[in-house]
């Protein structure tokens, strides 16, 4: 498809979620890449103007660079479908499911995808029982937030109530999850292909918001250094985990590999970051795909419903 076939393209960025600042960065990078390729692309921030303005302003295709709620959870996707505007990434149902870590786990467990053991927490939960069942350390996080916002690694039982309170500020649905010690990996998905795995090494013991977006001490390895057989096995499982949720277009599946070599699938991101620290562009580069080409390929995969 040549560039002029795309028509007037809106890059959705910013938005109303807790990940607004990262989305603005991603959106600017995407916008710049499209313009370098001659695409008639323009920024559109849904926090600053109503979605129906997309139609009024004559947009013909939408590249979603929003992260988190009201961008990655099916709400924007539904609005775009009502307007019959082709958009990038997964559809309404897959976006909503992938944003909900609990329901993601339910589907993965039903399909035989290995994921860490967990418990749903609320104000009435018996935290001592949770610690007994999942062991320490454990991870506490909101079920429907991204970028590790509201996430805590709990190493002592006495800290669990405070971790729950922090997560509950972001979402009334809170997950306590078995902590998997080992190697952190991510599998970028483009169309029906899993790109080379990226191995993540943090200065601390957690790949949190600081490590993801601020720290210059986080190290990334692509190629990952895994054996070809193990890498391929994880790529196949990641692609399967992505498809089970109904995801399409592109995305990123996060994985932990424990010390025995067993892979645990954590979550799927349907609108991953596209910043200078981001992982999908890193994996694409290792596969011989430049940033600009990656952005263009994602746009080519835009669909309605």
Q: Is residue 19 annotated as part of the catalytic site, yes or no?
A: yes
Q: Is residue 81 annotated as part of the catalytic site, yes or no?
A: no
**Is 83 in contact with 51 (CB distance < 8 Å)?**
yes
**Catalytic pick from 100, 208, 248, 254?**
254
Q: Is residue 267 annotated as part of the catalytic site, yes or no?
A: yes
**Catalytic pick from 23, 224, 269, 271?**
269
**Catalytic pick from 95, 224, 273, 278?**
273
**Catalytic pick from 6, 14, 19, 74?**
19
Which residues lie closer than 8 Å to 176 by C-beta, 6 or more apart?
118, 119, 120, 121, 130, 134, 138, 139, 140, 154, 160, 164
Name the 3-class secondary structure at 288: coil
**Catalytic pick from 252, 264, 271, 278?**
252
Per DSSP bridges, beta strands 40-44 and 8-12 are: parallel
Q: Is residue 213 annotated as part of the catalytic site, yes or no?
A: yes
The dihedral of CA 42, 296, 209, 265: what is its sign? positive
**Catalytic pick from 90, 95, 143, 147?**
147
**Catalytic pick from 87, 208, 267, 278?**
267
With 0-12 CB in 10 A as exposed, 13-18 as middle and 19+ as buried, what is 124? exposed
CA distances from 82 to 16, 42, 55, 209 (A): 20, 21, 11, 34
Residues annotated as catalytic (active site), given as ranges: 19, 147, 213, 252, 254, 267, 269, 273
């Amino acid at each position: 498809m040549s560039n002029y076939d795309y028509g007037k393209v809106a890059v959705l960025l910013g938005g109303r979620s807790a990940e607004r600042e990262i989305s603005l960065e991603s959106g600017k990078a995407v916008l710049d890449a499209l313009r370098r390729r001659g695409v008639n692309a323009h920024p559109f921030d849904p926090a600053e103007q109503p979605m129906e303005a997309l139609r009024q302003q004559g947009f013909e295709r939408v590249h979603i660079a929003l992260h988190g709620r009201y961008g990655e959870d099916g709400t924007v996707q539904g609005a775009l479908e009502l307007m019959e505007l082709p958009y990038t990434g997964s559809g309404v149902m897959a976006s909503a499911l992938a944003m909900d870590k609990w329901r993601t786990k339910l589907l993965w467990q039903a399909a035989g995808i290995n994921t860490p053991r967990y418990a749903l927490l609320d104000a009435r939960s018996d935290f001592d029982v949770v610690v007994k069942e999942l062991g320490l350390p454990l991870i506490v996080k909101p079920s429907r937030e991204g970028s590790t916002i509201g996430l805590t690694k709990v190493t002592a039982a006495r800290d669990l109530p405070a971790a729950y309170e922090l997560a509950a500020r972001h979402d009334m649905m809170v997950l306590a999850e078995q902590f998997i010690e080992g190697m952190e990996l991510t599998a970028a998905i483009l169309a029906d292909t899993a790109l080379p795995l990226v191995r993540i090494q943090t200065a601390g013991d957690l790949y949190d918001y600081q490590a993801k977006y601020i720290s210059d001490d986080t190290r990334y390895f692509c190629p990952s250094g895994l054996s070809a057989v193990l890498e391929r096995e994880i790529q196949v499982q990641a692609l399967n985990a992505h498809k089970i949720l109904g995801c399409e277009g592109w995305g990123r599946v996060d994985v932990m590999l424990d010390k025995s070599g067993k892979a645990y699938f954590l979550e799927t991101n349907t609108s991953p970051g596209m910043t200078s620290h981001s992982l999908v562009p890193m994996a694409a580069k290792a596969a011989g795909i430049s940033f600009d080409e990656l952005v263009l390929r994602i746009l080519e995969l835009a669909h309605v419903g």
